[in-house]
Structure 1
Amino acid sequence: MTQRTTLITGSTQGMGRALALDLAPRGGTLLLHGRHPGRLAAVAAEARAAASGTTVRTYLADLADLDQVHAMADRINTVEPRLDGLINNAVVAGGAEPLRRELSRQGHELRFAVNHLAAHALTRDLLPLLTASAPARVVNVASMGQEAIDFDDVMLERGYEGLRAYFRSKLAMIMATFELAAELRGTGVTVNSLHPAHLMDTEAVRTSGLTPVTSTEEGVRPTVRLLLDPDLATVTGRYFDQFTVARAHDQAYDTEARRRLMRLTRGLLDRTGG
């Protein structure tokens, strides 16, 4: 991994922080994203202390604002000479007030905006750099918690519940993974998604009122495997349950539903210049 450059979103806590501290000793350049300056500086200091030979740079952005997503991608495209790996790890989970519907800066349902739209926008914006650095890998951190998207109420304006919104956003991420992987075949850029581990000990899990049952290290190992394992160099367009290729929700294999989602996604991102 010595010469690799990897970007991790949501790196200031939970599995993102654990990923940063796992990858830091492997060398190369580590790009850490967060939305809280203090937390971002702290995890960067931890990563540098873990491996003095690793270059660590930080990028500040609130992924609930697509304008900030695009601006961060522009900075990365300008500053970074290469990008070998992107881990879309940042997440908004069910939340402490599950019946309170929250909106992003652009007025989209917050979980759909951060977990799907922001991840997809960032990936698309960084494709020129990823392609120029190929072979490169995109790893989308999804979930085994998935629920079919209702295209008549994508933003869950009716019957809102936080975990339901989270489940739908993670299925959207998986569906976008399949579509982007097909688009990028032959470019040297692979795109996969995974459920990293069940109910990890993270703030997102605890805030959602759930009881953690596994450590963040449980999720780090299969995620890093998708990023680095030579045996997976050409594997793309797959959903993994930890280390095993698995079947996602049935809607993920509905080609018309996927096309419908991507048309919607492009329309929403076009309004922000994405």
Structure 2
Amino acid sequence: MRPLDQQTILITGATGGLGRALVHRAARHGMTVLAHGRDEQRLRALALEVEEATGTSIDTVVADLSDLREVDRLAAGVVDTYDELHVLVNNAGVGFGAPGSGREVSADGIELRFAVNHLAAYRLAARLATLLEVSAPARIVQVASAGQLALDPEDPLTEHGYDGVTAYRRAKLAQVMATYDLAGDLVGTGVSVTALHPATFMDTTMVRDAGQEPATTVEEGLDATWRLVAEEALDGVSGVYFDGQREGVTDPQADDPAARAWVRELSDRLIAGALTSR
């Protein structure tokens, strides 16, 4: 791998929690940082905060990842602006939601957690794969979760018996399944793809908004994520899911090639429909 101060990293969901901490650490190590968020004011505050803390300027980009056209716009902007991209961290996500809250859909009419936690990351990685390949060695890190639940072929988008926890867990498993598929697609390119559960119920707004008591610190999750970004010993490690800093065990559906093919077809169909319907 290249020295960190010669690498460019894109971090989605960068204005709070794990993403914010990751921006700070990457900047301290001299990486060229592109921080994504959906709120321009919060991004400006983050950039000022990082510059004051590290003496390093970061780049920022605004996009609403619940809108797949915005995902494409983000990817196109990165390709147009940067000659190289060495690390993509798909960190942005939607949590369980407030207890008892109803089903939400994205700008494209897709169940919100599936749209943001899985489809946006899947689409962004696909659109940036060529740039990552020409920048290789490069890494894609998917911030997933140990809270996984097999997708129901009869109701993959949780239209019946909805609750936010079920929808979140299904989306996070889909994200891990996509990690395995993308790793296979990129064999021989010098681009590795890994997924991880950074830590359980970190002390973040997402966790507190879901009515959960924080169980771990953001720092713990940061250390696990940073390892996949920067650890030289992980060069070439791809298609692996980590639970913290150890290799983890996924829901069995992730290891089923037929199930992965079905989820991939569903994902591609939803994306194509979203991009042609408006």
**TM-score, normalization by structure 2:** 0.96
* Secondary structure of the structure 2 residue equivalent to 1:11: coil
For 1:15 and 1:44, the matched residues in 2 are separated by 16
Post-superposition offset of 1:214: 1.1
The code of the aligned residue for 1:162 comes to G
Which residue of the partner structure matches residue 133 of structure 1?
A: 135
> C-alpha distance in 1, partners of 2:27/2:204?
20
Query: In the alignment, residue 263 of structure 2 is paired with which amino acid?
Result: L
Is 1:99–1:160's contact at 8 Å kept on the other side of the alignment? no
Does the CA contact (< 8 Å) of 1:28 and 1:55 recur in 2?
Answer: no
Cα distance change, pair 202–211 in 1 and its aligned pair in 2 (3 A): same
Match of 2:45 in 1: 42
**Residue-by-residue CA offset, 1:157-195 (whole Å, 9 max, x unaligned):** 100000110000000000000000011010000000000
Tell me if structure 1 keeps the 8 A contact 2:104–2:112.
yes
Count residues in correspondence: 273
Please provide the CA RMSD for this pair.
1.1
Alpha-carbon offset, residue 3 of structure 1: 0.9
CA distance in 2, matches of 1:99, 1:37: 27
Q: Which whole-Å CA distance do the structure 2 matches of 1:154 and 1:180 have between them?
A: 21
Offset at residue 270 of structure 1 (A): 1.9
What is the match of residue 124 of structure 1?
126
**Unaligned stretches of 5+ residues in structure 1:** none
- The partner residue of 1:28 within 20, 23, 31 is 31
Q: How does 1:239-254 map to 2 (within 5 A)?
A: 239-254=241-256
Identity %: 47
Pairwise CA distance, 1:48: 2.0
Counterpart contact for 2:99–2:211, Cα < 8 Å? no
* 1:11-55: CA deviation from partner (whole Å, max 9, x where unpaired): 001111111111111002000000011111111112222322x44
Corresponding residue number in structure 1 for 2:212: 210
In structure 2, distance between residues paired with 1:122 and 1:77: 11
SS of equivalent residue, structure 2 residue 5: coil
**Separation in 2, partners of 1:120, 1:55:** 28
Which structure 2 residues correspond to residues 75-94 of structure 1 after superposition, within 5 A?
75-94=77-96
Aligned runs of 1:114-263 on 2, under 5 Å?
Answer: 114-263=116-265
2:50–2:57 CA contact under 8 A, matched in 1: no
What's the TM-score, normalizing by structure 1? 0.97
